[in-house]
Amino acid sequence: MKLLPLLLLLLTPCLLSGQATAPKYSNEFLSIGIGARGLGMGRTQTAVVNDVTAGYWNPAGLLDITTKYEAALMHAEYFAGIAKYDYAGFATPIDSVSHLAVSAIRFGVDDIPDTRFLFDANGAINYNNVTFFSAADYAFLVSYARRLPWLGGLQAGANVKVIHRNVGNFANAWGFGFDVGLMLKRKGWRAGLMARDVTSTFNAWSINTALLQSTYAQTNNRLTANSVEITLPKLSAGIARSFAIAKSVGLLATADADFTFDGKRNVLIRSGAVSVDPHVGLEADYRQLAFLRLGAGEVQRLKDFDSSTYTVFQPNFGVGFRLGKFAIDYALTDIGDLSESPYSHVFSLKAGF
């Protein structure tokens, strides 16, 4: 684990300097997860991801891909279809000890009505003046993984990511950041470590004040032309163990923990210095052809109307099928009872060739 001290050295100044000024939640669309397998297992992929989606979960896992090329697509919808979440990824080996992948992620709400000019100059409603725009977040990742000679084959990987966020023509932002991951396998055991935004990720926002000035003036609010949003580092640690239940049936048990350093969050373990959000997952397979997955996490304490508190968690379920080098996966994920449609259906396709 010779890379671990270096990783912690990079993280320490960012954790100490960013707490006072950075927002608690930034680029949160990148915390949702990708792929029906990972979402069905409760986002417990840090130690076990072994396909093209490793570009998101832990780039070190790209080295476990067995085909020359691998591509994947995912689509999900949230809040009764209002928000759409899409992913595409492609991976290929460079040589016998290194791998390369590219990924694209979009989370957006489309067809939002712009009613600023709903009333015409005579004060009458004119629906022809209503236009539509999108509010969307994009992430583009380039991932590199390499097998190291230490500890009998330590796997290491890194992401370079570009973030683009836009709210129609009103505002847009560009950001840039890095992720680093490690993975180690030993006799049925797997361990993984993923550090996101290791040097902090900066989003530079540009506001089109000409479009918003009159609206802000009516409410006596101050309009800022630009700003910078900082995403602080976050660590994910995972461990997993595989078992043979029967001749044709296997079981993979996983556990992950997300560590954040931006103050107290509403998670299972929380303090002013660090908060820990644990997740657990299971995957049963029949000859690596059919899969049944379960996961749970996002433990939170909520306040009721009578000021009493109660604890909730989010369960997840998934199935998958593989035929040759083609796989299809499905997950039913809980998004926390935030709407009349609290569950989201996630579909993923993957092909190796």
3-state secondary structure of 171: strand
pLDDT in tens, 21-31: 466 678 889 99
| Cα–Cα nearest to 142, from 89, 201, 196 | 89
Average pLDDT over residues 342-351: 90
pLDDT in tens, 51-104: 999 999 999 999 999 999 999 999 999 887 889 999 999 999 999 999 999 999
Q: What pTM was estimated for this model as a whole?
A: 0.87
Q: For 208-326, where are the alpha helices, taking DSSP H only?
A: 209-218
- What domain range includes position 202? 3-352
Q: How far apart are CA 145 and CA 232, in angstroms?
A: 23
pLDDT in tens, 139-173: 999 999 999 988 888 999 999 999 999 999 889 99
End-to-end CA distance of the chain: 33
The tally of domains found in the chain comes to: 1
CB 212 within 8 A of CB 200: no
Residue type, 219: T
Please report, for the domain that includes residue 53, its CATH number.
2.40.160.40
Q: How far apart are CA 53 and CA 38, in angstroms?
A: 9
Q: pLDDT: is 10 or 199 the higher one?
A: 199
Q: Which residues have a Cβ under 8 Å from the Cβ of 271 and sit 6 or more positions away?
A: 264
